[in-house]
Structure 1
Amino acid sequence: MKPLGKPHTLTALEALSHRTTLTASTKAIFDTIRNRYELECQFEQFLKITGCDQFECIWQYYTHHNIYINLILITDNAVHLFKFNNYHGLHYIDGDGMLVNSITLEAHADLSELYCMKYSVINVMPETSTQLPVYTKCIMMNESFELDVHSYNGDILTKKQIIPYLERLRRASKKKKKKQHNQRCLIK
Structure 2
Amino acid sequence: MTYLLLAGLCLLAYLALVLAANRLGGSAAHGSVAFEPGTVARDRAPATLTVATWNIGYAGMGAESDFFLDLGTQRRPLSADLVDRNLAGIGGTLGSLESDVVLLQEVAQPSFVTWGRDVLAGVRAALAGHAVAFAADIHTRFVPGRLGVRVGNATFSRIRPQGPLELVRLPLEPTRLAGIFRKDYRMHVLRLAGEDGGEW
TM-score, normalised relative to structure 2: 0.26
TM-score by length of 1: 0.27
